[in-house]
Amino acid sequence: MAQESGAQMHARDIPVDEVDLIGLVAVEDVRAFEALYRAYYPRLTRFLRRMLRQQGLVDEVLDDTMLVIWRKAHTYDASSKLSTWIFAIAYRQALRALRRADHGVAAEGNEPASPAESEPDGALQQHQLRAQLDDTLALLSGEHRAVIELTYYQGLSCREIAEVMGCPVATVKTRAFYARRKLKALLGGVGEQAL
């Protein structure tokens, strides 16, 4: 029982602040790394799933990303938000994986589950629109998918996306413009609703 309360006490001592967490990861605190992993797993998985469109690659790149974070935590200098630093690592790892794959990004295995028949029409239409948008996003280049994902789903600013992607803010804006334009063209009349 004494061991259990000591473990609970240590778990409570792990700071909730991400900058404190990465500081502890830098000194190889495994519990802090686990907390950081749990905090970023859903966001990184979603981002990588949209970029890579192959579940096997998503898992591999997520593992690679977390390994880089573990090894390079001491290099985080707080010149940007921690999330920007982490997404930049994930983005670079995803680009490497896409280059290794050396073929087009396949959308296999990413079909959303069909909705229950009891869903109201509005929810069904929303689900169908979402599925169509996901399929259409797969037709964009990796850079364009990344800009859309980081902007609309992760809520990063153009400046933060530029840091993640290692390019000027103007390039991010240009990529976003062309990505939205291509999505609207591919989606047709539904494009206005989706975007």
Token duo for residue 72: 């390079």
Q: What are phi and psi of 111, to 5 degrees?
A: -70, 130
Query: What is residue 66's predicted lDDT score, i.e. its pLDDT?
Result: 95
The DSSP line for 58-86 is HHHHHHHHHHHHHHHGGG--SSS-HHHHH
**Residue 105 in contact with residue 98, Cβ under 8 Å?**
yes
Q: What are phi and psi of 42, to 5 degrees?
A: -65, -45
92-96 average pLDDT score: 90
Query: What is residue 142's predicted lDDT score, i.e. its pLDDT?
Result: 85
Radius of gyration of the chain (CA): 19
Token duo for residue 89: 């690592």
**Residue 44 in contact with residue 84, Cβ under 8 Å?**
no
77-86, 109-118, 123-132, 182-191, range with greatest mean pLDDT: 77-86
- CATH code linked to domain 1-104: 1.10.1740.10
What percent of the chain has a predicted confidence (pLDDT) above 90?
A: 42
91-104 average pLDDT score: 79
Show me where the domains of the chain are located. Answer: 1-104, 119-195
Query: What is residue 102's predicted lDDT score, i.e. its pLDDT?
Result: 54
Query: What is residue 10's predicted lDDT score, i.e. its pLDDT?
Result: 43
Query: What is residue 114's predicted lDDT score, i.e. its pLDDT?
Result: 40
pTM of the shown model: 0.65
Confidence of residue 12 (pLDDT cuts 50, 70, 90): very low
Confidence of residue 194 (pLDDT cuts 50, 70, 90): low
Confidence of residue 187 (pLDDT cuts 50, 70, 90): confident
Query: What is residue 112's predicted lDDT score, i.e. its pLDDT?
Result: 40
Query: What is residue 152's predicted lDDT score, i.e. its pLDDT?
Result: 85
Token duo for residue 120: 């109201």
Residue-wise pLDDT for 31-64, tens only, equals 999 999 999 999 999 999 988 888 888 999 999 9
**Domain covering 119-195 assigned CATH 1.10.287.1770 in the classification:** no
